[in-house]
Each structure stands twice: as C-alpha cells, then as structure tokens.
C-alpha cells in the first residue's frame, strides 16, 4: 500500500543543510501498523510531514520516492496532493494537535468543515456522519455543541482522532498522540487505537519516543537515529531480538514496572544534523565502535526475513 | 535501590494544605459569594528518612509540585505543619526555644533570619525543566557561584572556584574548566540538568526535592542522571523527595512511594508493597495502565478498571474524592472522607474498603 524508497527530506537553513530524514526506506501493507521510534530530533515528525507532502520551509523533499498505491506523492503538485491525498488517503494527527483546536468554534463546526469543503455535503449530512464518528471514539452527541476549552485532554484527543478518520483514509499517521496525556487516559486512548485498527483494517504509522507505547500497537517497528532508520523489523524482532547497538541500548534504558531489572544508558548525546558524524552516525556513542564505523556508512542488511539492520557488526559478519 | 532505609526521620509533614484563590466572577463579587479555592494540596501527612528516596507519584495536577515547593519552602502552606530535624552542626546554632524535645524545628514558626537561612541551605530543589530553570545570561560558573554568595560559603574567589570545580566533577561535567565558562544554551539537556543538580548539591543539603528531573530528557540518557543522583546519595548522607508521574521510574529508584490523587495521599508504603500489592482502587488502576515494552500487548485490550478522568481541583467531590470513578463505591464513600489505615507494616491506604465504618 505504501512504499517509501530512499526518502531524503532536508531543511536548507542558513547554518547549513539539516539532513532530518536521510535515505529512509520501508513499506507498509494494508491494515498494518508501523511504529516509528527515536529520540527527540531524530526526524520522526519530518518523516510524517513528508508522507503528507507537507514539509514546513525551509524544508523540502530532496530525493526518493513515496509510492502510495503506486503513485509517487513526492512528485505531486500541491493541488494534486490536496485533491487526491491529504485527509482522503492519508490523514495525520499532528504532534500537539489537541491543543491546536480552534477555541471559538464548536466541535461540530470544526469537524464539519472538511465534509463541506471536500465532499460537498450538506450541514445535515455532515452532522450525521460526525455523530457516528463521535460515537466511534467514545463521545456522545452532546459534544457537538461544546467548545474545546470545555473538554478534558483525553476528550480533545478523541476529537482529534475522530477528525483524522472523517474522510475514511487508508493511512492514518499519528505523531506522539498520547505524549501529553496521563497514564490512565493514555491507556484509554491506546485502547481506542486498537479498536480502530481492528474495525477499520486501516494502516497506521504510529510515531512516539516511547517504545512501550509502540509495543501496545505496532506490528512493525522502525528505529530512527539522527535522520536514519538504523533498524527495521516486526515488533517481535525489534523487541525480542534487537540487533543494532542503538536499539539494544534504548531497550535497556527503559525502567520497568513489573521487574527491578537494572537499566543502563547510552553515553553522550545525539549529534547535530548539520554536521553529523562521518560513517555510522551512531559511532561516537557506540560501545562496539570499530575503525570502519568512523569511515563508512553501514549498509542496510536483511538479517532474517523482514528484519533489516544498518551496522558494520552485522554487515561484516 | 528501593531497599529498606532505616535512617532517622528528618522531615515530617503534618496535615499540610495549600489552597490557591480562584479568580471570582463578576456575579460572585456582586452577590458577595465566598471566594472559591483550588485545593491543590489538601491535607497530606508523611515523613522522610535520611538515606531514602521518597517518591510522590500521581497524575498531572494532583499536587506533587505544590507539595515539593512547600517542602523546599518556596511556597507558604495555607495550613499544617512542617517539622525539620537539622544536622548537628546547624542545630548547635539554633536557640533551644525553636527546637522541640526530639530535635525538630517547626518551620511554620517565625524564625530569626540567620537561622532561617541556615535551614534553607539544608533543603534544596531541582526543577523539572532543564531549559527554563537556569538563567540564560549567566555562565555555569556564575550559576554555581550565586548560592555560595547568598549563603556566605567560601572566603575567597579561589576557594569558591575550588568548590565549583569539585561540584562540576561530582556531576561528571569534566573537565570542569571546559564547562565553567559556558552558557546554558551551549549545553545539552542532560548537561543542563547536571548543572541544576550541582547547583542544588553545592550547598551540601540533607534533603533534596527533585521535581521530575528526567522527564524532559531523552530516554537513552535518563538512567545516567538517575544513577548520578544515587551515587551522590551514597557518598553523602541525604534524603530525596523524588517527584514523578512515571510509576516505572518510581519503582526503579524509590524506597517508598506516596500515591497522590486530587491533593491527598491515597496510598503510601515501601515501593515493593505499593507496586506489587496495591490496595487502593486508584493505585491499582494506575498500575494497570502502565505500558511495557512487550510486543504481545498489542493483541490485548489493556483493562483499566476506572472510568473518566480526574476532576478539577477547584471542584473536589465530597467524601472520598475518588468515589465518582471508583468501581467499588459504597454509600459511605460519598459521604465521609476515608481515614489512613495501616494495612500491613508501613503500608497505608485511605479507602473505606480498608477502614471500619
Ligand atoms: N523548520 C525547521 N527548520 C530547520 N530545522 C528543522 C525544522 N524542523 C525540524 N528541524 C530539525 O530537523 C531535525 C528533525 O526534527 P523532527 O521534528 O522531525 O524530529 P522528531 O524526531 O519529530 O523530534 P521530537 O521527538 O522532538 O518531536 C531536528 O534536528 C530539527 O532541529
Ligand atoms: N499558583 C497557582 N495558582 C493557582 N492554582 C495553582 C497554582 N499552582 C498550582 N495550581 C493548581 O493546583 C493543582 C496542583 O498543581 P501541581 O502543579 O502541584 O500539580 P502536579 O501534580 O505537580 O502536576 P504536573 O504533573 O502537571 O506537574 C492544579 O490543579 C493546579 O492547576
Ligand atoms: S558497531 Fe554498529 S552501528 Fe556501530 S558504530 Fe559501530 S555501529 Fe555504528
Ligand atoms: Mg516530532
Ligand atoms: Mg508538577
């Protein structure tokens, strides 16, 4: 359904070119959920914006393909994107969107807009569909007439999720959709995503820095580091058999509630993306660094079916 | 970690409250209605022992920061008591009339300035936001020098430089001379948080409140800061109040846990007991809601046995404040506030399921 090949999205800033997404390749089937994990600044949101054809300036897609049902989104004009892709095929829950609802509009007015614009629906038809969707996300009709400030954080997030589903997209991208929520509400929202995944058979890209949240929903996981996907595989492969030193370090740094396992950390900090380290971008923090790591970029190697790793430890094996 | 601490009690909070006035509407003013309050902290009682990591956990708005700021004396309590047992050295400088028979000083009484300053020096705080809590116009050197000047520590610039040098090495910002002249924006988030920790530790406190010290940092570097805190505790004699919304971090780091809900402590006890044998329905729900990095979780719905969300602290339900969300609610819960009951040694719960009624 979605095939991303060698995607490069760069920000052309005065201080230099920020290679926020650099040569990223993955694919996603119908009904599959891909989790994208990575630390702050690793390029997760930039990747998401690229898929919507929506990169904020001074950024733009500098190379690669985004094939959506065979058509290349990266090559489409703004007009084509608007007519064919955005919200209809691909919709997005933006990072922090629940706090960006327009304060002066009722929930009904905010939600009806895309129907009236994109689908030429009447207000009445739009309302019926909205009520249906509200029900789907666990809210009743009374929310139609409410304003955003009258809603709790969890309720606002439900509205934002409903809005992403409005036009029956094939792919929903959710960028940190639970990060600002408390743990109980987070669990409720994750249950809602699980229900949507099951009922709609929709594809999703689920972006978060929190690997535990990824484990709650994702069938496949892409681990990003400094603009690159360093490891890609099924959830089982990534969580139970991680191969890249970064993925291994990240998993070991998560404290667990149900065990007292000692946690560790990855020394140092992620690099700046204007002048990333040569060779493997992770090499200054890698416990296994070799000479070749400082010199050559490691290729993506398939270590078992569907499990890809970009690390010289693997490619030299 | 999470081991038993049999240290002496150095701090006691007794029925501590903090109410913030709410802005009144015009109608309320015209009808002379009484002012309304946000009951941010509404009667908490606990003690803190030397050598322990005492944890305050709970969801956003439950009053953790407000409690922490009262302990660090950045906020005046509305009512209640805070008793603090100073070090021997400080105690010898406090006139006996301010000290009770067990060696505690009541911090709510009017104290001479000089004494108050000595006591404040012993209780320090590390804030959540490593970006907002350091003055962007000051170098690391000056940020660390400020508390030394305020508390008259070090007789010469050389001596202060020496103290700052040691403080930076202790938080592993080495070599220290490379960091002294930097401004906060020239540091990473983790490095900034180390400066905040150094600033709190440079006064050699015995009680340190840390308010979500790692929640704004990337996961891969959190453990390093937590380990640093534990190392500093091992090399000094001190207690931490660790504030977090993350139960997994609390489980990893803390000796005892106090679970807060809408301004009150609903459960308190040794970490193992609270996490592995939770008794309050709210604690049970919190624990059930925590995700774990286990990929088989995606095939299950995570059952969270409570409904809805936390109500506003300006509008606290009567009786047990958790009752509108509680799956076990009884009549008495809607009417009367449940007392704290010790259900096993050191393990306290405020819930009518555990109290006689
Ligand atoms: N408009 C912009 N101009 C220049 N650089 C940018 C811009 N937006 C993002 N960047 C840079 O691109 C890189 C990737 O940013 P991005 O927001 O995609 O990361 P992220 O993984 O989503 O981070 P977070 O977890 O903090 O949301 C970062 O180094 C960031 O500083
Ligand atoms: N200065 C203030 N004036 C009015 N209300 C306040 C003030 N400070 C805090 N509150 C309110 O008191 C309650 C407790 O706030 P507090 O910051 O202590 O919670 P918290 O547990 O630290 O939350 P978080 O996890 O979001 O940091 C909240 O309802 C908050 O809105
Ligand atoms: S061992 Fe693999 S990944 Fe590595 S530095 Fe070397 S790396 Fe990069
Ligand atoms: Mg982002
Ligand atoms: Mg707080």
Which residue among B220, B275, B310 places its CB closest to the CB of A265? B220
Q: Is the pLDDT of residue B141 over 70?
A: yes
DSSP string, B167-234: HHHHTT--SHHHHHT--GGGS-HHHHHHHHHHHHHTT--SEEEEESTTTTS-HHHHHHHHHHHHHHHH
* Closest Cβ opposite residue B59 in set A183, A188, A235: A183
Collect all residues with Cβ–Cβ distance below 8 Å to B316 and sequence separation of at least 6: B39, B42, B262, B263
Please, which residues have CB within 8 angstroms of residue B300's CB and are 6 or more apart in sequence? none
Q: What is B9-23+35-137+183-350's CATH number, 1.10.1240.10, 3.40.50.150, 1.10.110.30, 3.40.50.300?
A: 3.40.50.300
Q: What is the pLDDT of residue B3?
A: 42
In the CATH hierarchy, which fold is given to the domain comprising A2-89+169-315?
A: Rossmann fold (3.40.50)
What's the rounded mean pLDDT across residues B239-266? Answer: 96
What is the distance between the alpha carbons of residues A309 and A317, in angstroms, rounded to a whole number?
12
Q: What is the mean pLDDT of residues A16-21?
A: 93
Banded model confidence at residue B2, pLDDT cuts 50, 70, 90: very low
- Dihedral sign (CA A243, A248, A250, A251): positive
Contact A257, B287 (CB under 8 A): yes
- Taking the CA of residue B21 as reference, the ligand 2 atom at the shortest distance is 4
Higher pLDDT, A272 or A229: A229
Mean pLDDT of all residues in A101-124: 82
DSSP state of B305: -
Which helix (H) or strand (E) segment is B113 a member of?
Answer: helix B113-122
Chain B residues touching chain A at CB-CB below 8 Å = 1-2, 59-60, 188-191, 218-224, 226-227, 245-249, 251-253, 275, 285-295, 297-298, 301-302, 304, 306, 309-310
- Ligand 3 contact via A245 beta carbon (within 6 Å): yes
| CA nearest to B173 within chain A | A268
Distance CA B15, CA A249 (A): 44
Residues of chain A with C-beta less than 8 angstroms from the C-beta of B191: 269
Mean pLDDT of A108-118: 80
Q: Out of B2-6, B54-58, B186-190, which region has the weakest mean confidence (pLDDT)?
A: B2-6
Residue B22 is classified by DSSP as P
State whether the Cα torsion B157-B163-B169-B173 is positive or negative. negative
- Evaluate whether A91 touches A127 at the Cβ level (below 8 Å): no
Nearest to A53 by CA among A33, A76, A29: A76
User: Ligand 3: distance of its center to the CA of A7 in Å?
Assistant: 22
| pTM: predicted TM-score of the whole model, two decimal places | 0.91
**For residue A95, which atom of ligand 1 is closest to its CA?**
27
Which candidate from B218, B288, B297 shows the least CB-CB separation from A216? B297
- The percent of chain A in helix, strand and coil, each rounded to the nearest 5, is 40, 25, 35
A189: CB partners within 8 A, 6+ apart: A154, A157, A158, A161, A177, A178, A181
Model confidence at B1: pLDDT above 60: no
| DSSP per-residue letters across B229-258 | HHHHHHHS--EEEEEES-HHHHHHH-SEEE
Q: For residue B96, give the DSSP letter.
A: G
**Please, where are the H alpha helices in A206-311?**
211-217, 235-240, 245-252, 291-295
Is any atom of ligand 2 closer than 6 Å to the C-beta of B173? no
Domain positions in chain B: 9-23+35-137+183-350
Tell me the CA–centroid distance for residue B254 and ligand 5, in Å: 18
Token pair belonging to B290: 């925590």
Q: What are phi and psi of A32, to 5 degrees?
A: -90, 150
Chain A residues with CB under 8 Å of B224 CB are 265, 267
Q: Which of A229, A245, A271 to mutate to test the pocket of ligand 3 (most atoms within 8 A of CB)?
A: A245
Contact between residue B238 and residue A242 where contact means Cβ atoms under 8 Å apart: no
pLDDT, residue B14, reads: 97
Strands (E) in chain B, as ranges, are 9-21, 37-49, 53-57, 79-84, 105-106, 123-126, 207-211, 239-244, 256-261, 264-270, 340-344, 347-350
So what's the pLDDT on residue B294? 94
Burial group, residue A316, by CB count within 10 angstroms (0-12, 13-18, 19+): exposed
Compute the average pLDDT of residues B250-273: 97
Task: Give the residue ranges of DSSP H helices in chain A.
Answer: 44-52, 78-80, 107-119, 123-136, 153-165, 183-200, 211-217, 235-240, 245-252, 291-295, 312-315
- Closest by CA to A177, choosing from A289, A26, A36, is A36
What residue owns the CA closest to ligand 1's atom 16? A43
Cα(A140)–Cα(A300) distance, integer angstroms: 48
Query: Measured from the CB, is residue B245 less than 6 Å from ligand 2?
Result: yes
Closest residue by Cα to residue B310 from A155, A95, A213, A100:
A155
Cβ contacts of A235 on chain B, cutoff 8 Å: 295, 298
The continuous run of DSSP H or E covering B117 comes out as: helix B113-122
In this structure, what is the dihedral angle of CA atoms B91, B93, B98, B102, given to the nearest 10 degrees? 20
Q: A160-164, long-range: CB within 8 Å, 24+ apart, which pairs? A: A160/A93, A160/A97, A160/A98, A160/A101, A161/A93, A161/A137, A161/A189, A161/A192, A161/A193, A161/A196, A162/A111, A162/A130, A162/A133, A162/A134, A162/A136, A162/A137, A163/A91, A163/A110, A163/A111, A163/A114, A164/A91, A164/A92, A164/A93
Question: Does B115 score more than 90 pLDDT?
Answer: yes
Bridge partner list, A61 = A9
The tens digit of pLDDT for each residue in B59-87 reads 988 999 999 999 999 999 999 999 999 99
pLDDT at B5: 52
Find the CB nearest A215 among B1, B287, B295.
B295
- How far is Cα of residue B356 from the mean position of the Cα atoms in its chain? 31
pLDDT in tens, B8-24: 999 999 999 999 987 76
Q: Please report the atom of ligand 1 found closest to the CA of residue A44.
A: 21
Measured in whole angstroms, the distance separating CA B250 from the mean position of its chain's CA atoms is 12
Q: Which helix (H) or strand (E) holds A230?
A: strand A228-234
Identify the band that residue A259 occupies on the pLDDT scale cut at 50, 70 and 90.
confident
Q: Between A40, A218, A239, which is nearest B294 by CB? A: A239
Question: Which pLDDT value is given to residue B6?
Answer: 63
A222 or B220: whose pLDDT is higher? A222
Q: Which residues contact B34 (CB under 8 A, 6 or more apart)?
A: none
User: pLDDT at position A96, please?
Assistant: 86
Average pLDDT value for chain A: 92
The stretch A249-266 carries a mean pLDDT of 91
CB contact under 8 A, B275 and A257: yes
pLDDT at residue number B131: 73
Long-range Cβ contact pairs of B336-344 (< 8 A, separation 24 or more)? B340/B45, B340/B265, B340/B268, B343/B279, B344/B269, B344/B273, B344/B277
Mutate which: A189, A269, A284, vs B, most B CBs within 10 A: A269
Long-range CB contacts for residues A145-150, cutoff 8 Å, separation at least 24: A145/A106, A145/A107, A145/A108, A146/A106, A146/A107, A147/A103, A147/A104, A147/A105, A147/A106, A147/A107, A148/A101, A148/A102, A148/A103, A148/A107, A149/A103
Lookup: tokens for A72:
């290349």
Q: Is the pLDDT of residue B216 over 90?
A: no
Range among A70-84, A126-140, B27-41, B147-161 rated most confident: B147-161
Q: Taking residues A240-244, what's their average pLDDT?
A: 97
In chain B, helix, strand, coil percent, each to 5? 35, 20, 45
Residue B125: burial class (beta carbons within 10 Å; 0-12, 13-18, 19+)? buried
Mutate to test the interface with A, among B61, B266, B277, B295 (most CBs of A within 10 A): B295
Task: List CB contacts (< 8 A) between B245 and chain A.
Answer: 182-183
User: Within its chain, how far is the Cα of B244 from the centroid?
Assistant: 8
Q: Is the Cβ atom of A283 under 6 angstroms away from ligand 3?
A: yes
Domain ranges of chain A: 2-89+169-315, 102-168
Selected for mutation to probe chain B from A263, A267, A285 (highest B CB count within 10 Å) is A263
Residue B4: the pLDDT is: 47
Residue A280 alpha carbon, nearest atom of ligand 3? 8
- Residue A226 contacts residue A250 (beta carbons within 8 Å): no
Cα–Cα distance between A132 and B239 in angstroms, integer? 54
- CA separation for the pair B24, B29 (Å, rounded): 7
Could you tell me the two tokens for A128?
A: 């019926």
Nearest-atom number in ligand 2 for the CA of B245 is 25
Place A168 in a pLDDT band, splitting at 50, 70 and 90: confident
Percent of the residues in chain A that have a pLDDT greater than 70, as a whole number: 100
Rounded to an integer, what distance in angstroms lies between the CA atom of residue B10 and that of residue B90?
Answer: 13
Determine if ligand 3 sits within 6 Å of the CB of residue A266: no
The pLDDT tens digits of the residues spanning B24-45 come to 677 767 777 677 788 999 999 9
């Amino acid at each position: 359904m979605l095939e991303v090949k060698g995607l490069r999205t760069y920000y052309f800033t005065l201080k230099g070119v920020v290679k926020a997404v650099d040569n990223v390749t993955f694919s996603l089937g119908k009904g599959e959920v891909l989790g994208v994990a990575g630390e702050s600044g690793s390029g997760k949101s930039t990747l998401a914006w690229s898929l919507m054809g929506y990169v904020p300036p001074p950024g733009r897609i500098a190379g690669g393909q985004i094939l959506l049902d065979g058509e290349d989104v990266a090559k489409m004009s703004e007009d084509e994107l608007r007519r064919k892709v955005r919200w209809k095929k691909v919709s997005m829950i933006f990072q922090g969107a629940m706090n960006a609802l327009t304060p002066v509009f009722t929930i009904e007015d905010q939600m009806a807009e895309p129907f009236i614009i994109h689908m030429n629906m009447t207000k009445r038809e739009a309302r019926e569909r909205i009520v249906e969707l509200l029900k789907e996300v666990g809210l009743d009709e009374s929310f139609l007439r409410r304003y955003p400030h009258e809603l709790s954080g969890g309720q606002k997030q439900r509205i934002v999720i409903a809005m992403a589903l409005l036009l029956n997209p094939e792919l929903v991208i959710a960028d940190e959709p639970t990060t600002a929520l408390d743990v109980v509400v987070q669990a409720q929202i994750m249950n809602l995503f699980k229900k949507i995944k099951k009922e709609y058979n929709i594809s999703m890209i689920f972006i978060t820095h929190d690997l535990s949240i990824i484990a709650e929903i994702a069938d496949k996981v892409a681990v990003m580091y400094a603009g690159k996907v360093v490891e890609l595989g099924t959830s089982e492969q990534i969580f139970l058999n991680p191969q890249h030193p970064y993925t291994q370090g990240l998993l070991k740094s998560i404290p667990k509630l149900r065990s007292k396992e000692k946690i560790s950390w990855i020394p140092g900090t992620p690099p700046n993306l204007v002048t990333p380290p040569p060779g493997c971008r992770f090499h200054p923090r890698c416990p296994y660094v070799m000479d070749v790591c400082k010199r050559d970029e490691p290729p993506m190697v398939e270590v078992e079916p569907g499990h890809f790793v970009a690390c010289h430890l693997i490619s030299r094996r | 970690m999470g081991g038993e601490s049999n240290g002496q009690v150095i701090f006691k909070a007794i029925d501590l409250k903090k109410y913030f006035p709410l802005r009144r509407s015009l109608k309320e003013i015209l009808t002379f209605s009484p002012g309304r309050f946000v009951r941010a902290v509404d009667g908490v009682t606990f003690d803190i022992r030397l050598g322990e990591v005492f944890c305050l956990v709970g969801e956003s708005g439950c009053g953790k920061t407000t409690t922490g700021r009262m302990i660090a004396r950045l906020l005046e309590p509305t009512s209640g008591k805070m008793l603090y047992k100073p070090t021997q050295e400080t105690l010898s400088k406090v006139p006996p009339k301010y000290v009770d028979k067990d060696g505690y000083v009541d911090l709510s009484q009017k104290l001479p300035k000089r004494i108050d300053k000595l006591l404040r020096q012993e209780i320090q705080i590390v804030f959540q936001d490593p970006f907002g809590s350091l003055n962007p116009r000051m170098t690391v050197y000056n940020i660390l020098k400020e508390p030394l000047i305020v508390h008259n520590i070090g007789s010469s610039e050389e001596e202060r430089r020496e103290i700052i040098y040691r403080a930076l090495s202790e938080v592993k910002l080495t070599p220290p001379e490379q960091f002294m002249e930097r401004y906060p924006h020239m540091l990473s988030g983790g490095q900034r948080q180390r400066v905040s920790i150094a600033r709190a530790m440079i006064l050699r406190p015995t009680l340190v409140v840390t308010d979500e010290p790692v929640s704004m940092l990337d996961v891969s570097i959190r453990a390093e800061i937590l380990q640093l805190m534990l190392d500093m505790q091992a090399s000094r004699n001190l207690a931490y109040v660790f504030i977090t919304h993350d139960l997994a971090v609390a489980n990893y780091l803390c000796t005892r846990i106090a679970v807060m809900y809408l301004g009150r402590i609903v459960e308190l006890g040794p970490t193992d007991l609270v996490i592995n044998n939770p008794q309050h329905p709210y604690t049970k729900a919190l624990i059930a809601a925590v995700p774990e990095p286990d990929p088989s979780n995606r095939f299950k719905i995570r059952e969270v046995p409570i409904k809805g969300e936390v109500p506003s602290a300006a509008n606290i339900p009567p009786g047990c404040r958790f009752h509108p969300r509680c799956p076990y609610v009884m009549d008495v819960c809607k009417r009367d506030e449940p007392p704290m009951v010790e259900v096993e040694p050191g393990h306290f719960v405020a819930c009518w399921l555990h109290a006689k009624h």
